[in-house]
Amino acid sequence: MIPKQPFLQNGILHYPLDALAVSHNTDGKKDMPHVWAGTFTRENGVSCAPYDSLNVGFHVGDEPWNVRRNREVIQQIVNADSLVSACQSHGDLIVHVRSHVPEEHLLNVDGLITNVRGLALMIQHADCQAVGLYDPQNAVIANIHCGWRGCVNGIVKKAVQELIQTYHSDPAQLIAFISPSMGSCCGEFKGWEAIFPARFAAYRVGRDHFDLVRLTSDDLVNAGLLPANIMAANICTVCSPVYFSYRRERNTGRCATVIVLH
């Protein structure tokens, strides 16, 4: 029996999106694609401290050949023809990818969408959320980089709108996951009044802490997703040493969250 919650196996937090897709396949489609989705821990790579060891970020100071090797390992594990990632900037730009694009050509991009099988979409993160979307009816996927600035910009809702406008997706059929990220236990934002809009007050926990995972979940629901179709890891990267954490370490690597259609 396929689990319907994220599960950790061999250094990868797997999101069994296929299990939910099958349960919602009321039309009896037999040609539904397989989707692989998961967040890699920082283990089982080749990078040295403080990037030890499965760092996928070229921009953090790691040796580029180590980063390339780590990415090659990930591409092999997810069985992808190509692995696409962007130069993220905590903005809200989302692009549609239909073939391999070098990272340096995807400047200031924080969301990737594709319907091409074998083209893996990778988000790099260390405390920010990676939010994956899967439309099993139209065979399209998205991967979104969403930190607190992304929450402010509403990038997740914009990604859902992109799927609706481009692929005529039904949001009630979309399946989503939220990766490990900074939890409300460690999500302290001093001076939050100057950076957060008024709607963030509903997600305030204590004096200066915020539950951004719940905010993202609510944004997905408000965009039309069903609560039962959202898988949240509910793992704090600051508390958990198996994930890179900028808040905890500052000089550190980036984890990879990947989604690919097969």
Residue 248 is assigned to a structural domain of this protein:
yes
d(CA 68, CA 48): 14
Residue 135 is assigned to a structural domain of this protein:
yes
- Cis peptide upstream of residue 240 (ω within 30 degrees of 0): no
Query: How many structural domains is the chain composed of?
Result: 1
CA–CA–CA angle 217, 242, 144 (5° rounding): 35
Residue 3 is assigned to a structural domain of this protein:
no
d(CA 74, CA 89): 23
For residue 248, the one-letter residue type is R
Ranges assigned E (strand) in 97-210: 111-114, 119-125, 129-135, 140-146, 175-178, 204-205, 209-210
Residue 1 is assigned to a structural domain of this protein:
no
Residue 133 is assigned to a structural domain of this protein:
yes
For residue 236, the domain's CATH number is 3.60.140.10
Residue 15 is assigned to a structural domain of this protein:
yes
d(CA 213, CA 156): 12
Residue 219 is assigned to a structural domain of this protein:
yes
d(CA 183, CA 214): 10
Give the structural domain span for 26: 9-261
Residue 21 is assigned to a structural domain of this protein:
yes
Write out the chain's pLDDT in tens, 262 residues: 455 799 999 999 999 999 887 665 556 566 778 999 999 999 999 999 999 999 999 999 999 999 999 999 999 999 999 999 999 999 999 999 999 999 999 999 999 999 999 999 999 999 999 999 999 999 999 999 999 999 999 999 999 999 999 999 999 999 999 999 999 999 999 999 999 999 999 999 989 999 999 999 999 999 999 999 999 999 999 999 999 999 999 999 999 999 999 9
d(CA 240, CA 53): 15
